[in-house]
Structures are given as C-alpha cells and as structure tokens.
C-alpha cells in the first residue's frame, strides 16, 4: 500500500496534468422564446458558440439543417428562426453538435479547434493532439419538433 501511494505521488509530482479530474463539458441552457405564432428566438446563440470556441455561423448552419428551418440574426445578436421550437428541441440539437463537432473522439476532451482546409473540416484536439476529419453539415439527425401522434396521423 505504501509503495502504491509512493508511485502515485511520484507520478503526480512529475506529470501534474496526467492525473487530474476530467473536465465535464457544461454549457449554459439555450434561451428560446416565441415571437408571435410562427417564429422562435434563440437569444444566446452567439454566447453558446463562443463558449464552444466555434464560429456562430457554423452552429447556426447546423441548427438550420437539423431543424429543417431558416432564419436570420437580428441586431441584438439573437437568432430568429421560422417555426415554433421549444428549449428541449434546441438542447437536443446542441448535444448532437457537441458530439459531432466539439468533443475529441480520442480523449473525449472539449478542448478542440475546428479548422477548414480546402473543403474539409478537421477537428484538432488541444489536449491529445489528434486530428480527425468531420463531415460537412448536411441533413442528418432530425430533431423531434412535433408530437409523434400528429406525425402518425399525418402519415395515415
């Protein structure tokens, strides 16, 4: 037991960043409000993109593709989207974005940089140094934005 504690003490002394607590990736919840009957406003989209160290345009393009909508940024840096979306729908899409374009696949770190070379996007990890190509934004996962029963009735 003493030998094991001595080994860990030496490892901590020589490599303090190796034996550290894993940082869990936490994000502020999206502030989603309804404007009228056919529009939703995502108030803190620019802040969330900066916290993930991503361009807001890339995140917005992903949101539009996944939610199947369009919109624009107003003067107060808020994203105005066509359609009614709840906060949980936006959170769900943000989680998929983080898995796909933010976290490192090798070490699961959120300390990454997204770079574009030619037409390819690369995810470069600052923790372990790995580089991985990530897919371009396309229509993929589709967030459940309507009630399942309404979708079944429309299909029948």
Stretch among 52-56, 81-85, 135-139 having the lowest mean pLDDT: 135-139
Q: Three-state SS across 49-72?
A: HHHCCCCHHHHHHHHHHHHCCCEE
Residues 25, 72: Cα–Cα separation, whole Å: 28
CA separation for the pair 133, 146 (Å, rounded): 33
Note the pLDDT tens digit of each residue in 97-119: 888 888 888 877 888 888 888 88
Tens of pLDDT, residues 14-34: 765 555 545 556 678 889 999
Q: How crowded is the C-beta side of 91, counted as CA atoms within 13 Å?
A: 10
pLDDT at 128: 79
Percent of the residues in the chain that have a pLDDT greater than 70, as a whole number: 81
Q: How confident is the model at residue 137 (pLDDT cuts 50, 70, 90)?
A: confident
What was the pLDDT predicted at 156?
Answer: 63
Q: Which residues contact 150 (CB under 8 A, 6 or more apart)?
A: none
Integer-rounded Cα radius of gyration of the chain: 20
Nearest Cα to 84, choosing from 37, 150, 44, 139? 37
The model carries a pTM of 0.71
**How far is Cα 84 from Cα 152, in angstroms, rounded to an integer?**
19
| pLDDT of residue 148 exceeding 80 | no
How much is the mean pLDDT over the chain? 81
Which DSSP state fits 141? S
Distances in Å between the alpha carbon of 131 and those of 114, 134, 136?
10, 10, 16
Q: How confident is the model at residue 39 (pLDDT cuts 50, 70, 90)?
A: very high
């Amino acid at each position: 037991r003493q030998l094991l504690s001595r080994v860990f003490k030496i490892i901590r002394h020589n490599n303090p960043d190796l034996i550290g607590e894993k940082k869990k990736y936490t994000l502020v919840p999206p502030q989603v409000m309804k404007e009228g009957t056919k529009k939703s406003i995502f108030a803190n989209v620019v802040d969330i993109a900066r916290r993930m160290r991503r361009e807001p345009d890339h995140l917005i393009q992903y949101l539009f593709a996944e939610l199947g909508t369009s919109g624009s940024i107003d003067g107060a840096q808020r994203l105005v989207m066509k359609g009614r979306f709840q906060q949980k729908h936006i959170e769900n899409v943000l989680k998929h974005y983080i898995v796909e374009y933010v976290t490192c696949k090798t070490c699961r770190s959120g300390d990454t940089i997204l770079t574009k070379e030619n037409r390819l996007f690369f995810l470069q990890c600052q923790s372990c140094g790995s580089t991985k190509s990530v897919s371009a934004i396309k229509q993929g996962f589709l967030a459940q934005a309507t009630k399942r029963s309404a979708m079944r009735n429309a299909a029948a």
